[in-house]
Chain A
């Protein structure tokens, strides 16, 4: 009997030891590869030494390693805001196309047009697209143009205005064109004049916003020149890495859907107001890496997990609204594991100072962020988007 008991005790002890060892190993693995991502507040402190590279600010193109190239014109997203990137690098990495605003009349934003003697039809400025080639050559791509996206083969899409000048009291309308190369001829992909913003390429398909009355956003797909179809009422959060799916957001900024770009078929759907934790809203211009999507949210940042036909809110990273009153813009996954997130933070003007922007980089596992140096918001401190122009 005693021998039997002894054997049993030894077996139980061995089993306990194995379970403990397995638990320790699992804990070590989870801790090492960052699989534990929990909802909670982000802590932000100064000290970001490596901003997203490359990036732009005012009339500078920075490589993030101390190098700066001088651009011919100042960066400006005046025509797009965060709907599309202000600067995009071509697939071969040789060219950067950037948005500018050629001001022809200074406008005081606090005063009305009439109080400044600005009448209907008065020219205020011209948006322009320029291309920098890395060797110091900077040339005008198009006047009266904005929101560019490179296709993998080097073709470039953008909006070309019907009349280049932006005028007071008018509607700034244009068409969407594609050039096979920067000096190629314009081929109209969307001819009907309207207020468009190019979002990016999904393979050989072009995703474009139509901005309507009240800034109502509608996402369109141009499959080929002249063949355009509506994809979603609302905006785009992110395109999947294989460019076959797009996460879109409805007008109320509460319902996220994943759509098949080729067919428009809905693959997954989530109402963030009833998710756990619930969010008041999420916004457009996030990013998608692997199975994860990150996007701005009412609390700060929302990270979704996607499957072939599923969509879950995996993590909410909240920011102190006193420090970051308007949250973040255009968050991007900054590493292959999808654990690091970089974004731009804007701080609106206040009694204590003018509006500023800075980069933050956050580890979503430790929920800690580093922030970079602040720049005036009108300098348009933004990362340069990489190949394809897919924001």
Chain B
């Protein structure tokens, strides 16, 4: 019995000293602004020096292309820190969400409380009670519009949101949830 415990303890100690996970790359995102409903979110992971992998999805942001328009315009350009990530966020924005730092646009207006997210419930499901536009239901392309946040599609199987979310954890090897900071996690550009 003692011998078995010793083996288990040794294995545990070895496991803790191993790099974990074995395939963890520096990983970040780039949002290329083309239009409010047809921009591109790209996940970039650095495999080696000068060697990158990428995966891209259609994404939207804002209703207008004026980044200084609070609650209406798309995201200002520049680098953003990640403030936190949740799988079951339960608020006006719900489900799998990535919380971005505040950012000033070109005239100094602060854009705040912005996320990368989609339209799903806190339990990552779909709630579509009406024939109209429901906030936790991905009905189609009009859902790419937002008050400023970056939005990914929740339709299809797997959805773009799932691919982005799972891809982030898999490529970065970062399994954290809740409040934490990752520097320059997102780059927004034209």
Contact = CB atoms under 8 A, between A and B. Distances in A.
Interface string A81-112: 11100000000000000000100000101111
A111 B66 contact: no
A253 B145 CA distance: 10
Given A215-B71, A284-B72, A348-B106, A115 B66 contact: no
Given A112-B80, A283-B69, A214 B106 contact: no
Contacts of B77: 109-110
Nearest to A326: B66
B79 A110 contact: yes
A13 to B, nearest CB: 59
Contacts of B104: 78, 107, 109
A239 interface: no
Main secondary structure of the interface of B (DSSP, over half): loop
A377 B72 contact: no
Contacts of A357: 107
Contacts of A211: 70-71, 112-113
Interface residues of A, number: 52
Contacts of B146: 214
Given A252-B145, A380-B107, A213 B113 contact: yes
Contact of B64 (A215, A252, A283): A283
A76 B63 contact: no
B91 interface: yes
B106 A355 contact: yes
Interface in A171-210: 171-172, 195
- Central interface residue in B68, B77, B107, B181, by most chain A CB within 10 Å: B107
A323 interface: no
A213 B102 CA distance: 12
Contacts of A112: 78-81, 101, 183-185
Contacts of A213: 91-93, 113, 115
Interface string B70-96: 111100111111010000000111000
Interface in A225-260: 235, 251-253
A78 B78 CA distance: 18
Nearest to B102: A168
B70 A82 contact: yes
B107 A377 contact: yes
A349 interface: yes
A378 interface: yes
Contacts of A79: 109-110
Nearest to B78: A110
Nearest to A357: B107
A283 B133 CA distance: 19
B9 to A, nearest CB: 38
B38 to A, nearest CB: 13
B101 A81 contact: no
A214 B69 contact: no
A78 B110 contact: yes
Most-contacted residue by chain A among B80, B101, B114, B142 (CB, 10 A): B101
B70 A83 contact: yes
Contacts of A83: 70-71
B66 A109 contact: no
Contacts of A325: 65
Given A109-B77, A327-B66, 9 more contacts: A78-B110, A83-B71, A107-B104, A114-B81, A115-B184, A214-B148, A215-B114, A252-B142, A378-B108
Interface of B: 63-73, 76-81, 83, 91-93, 101-115, 117, 133, 142, 145-149, 181, 183-185
CB-based closest 6 A-B pairs = A114-B183, A326-B66, A81-B70, A112-B79, A215-B71, A81-B109
